[in-house]
Amino acid sequence: MIPSFMLPICLAEKLLVKLRTVDGASFAGDSEYNVIAQTINTLYFRGKRIWDAIIQDLLPKGLMFAEKALLSGCSAGGLATFIHCDEFAQLFPETTCEMSQ
């Protein structure tokens, strides 16, 4: 974590979280496929479940009290931002300022 004295004033005392996409589907997959291969019997695409678990873990750690929330990403993360932005916004009271980049 970056010490607060090194952050701009607008970011000091903020919860900063960086998620890396892990399922190749921008945290949107929730399926399994049976495949015929020598070493693999089933492929799982469970990025949506990972997204949900991360959000549920972050809410009691301060996310539920956020006055401002920024959801941002690039490449596959940018697509994840677009896919999840409405769901993300619904996590907060109407008084929370949602910003998307």
Domain limits of the chain? 4-100
Q: What is the pLDDT of residue 40?
A: 66
DSSP string of 53-86? HHHHHHGGGTGGG-SEEEE--STHHHHHHHHHHH
Q: pLDDT category, 4, cuts 50, 70, 90? A: very low
pLDDT in tens, 59-75: 888 888 887 788 888 87
pLDDT of res. 31: 81
Q: Residue 29 in contact with residue 45, Cβ under 8 Å? A: yes
pTM: 0.70
pLDDT band at 15 (very low <50, low <70, confident <90, very high): low
pLDDT, mean of residues 39-60: 84
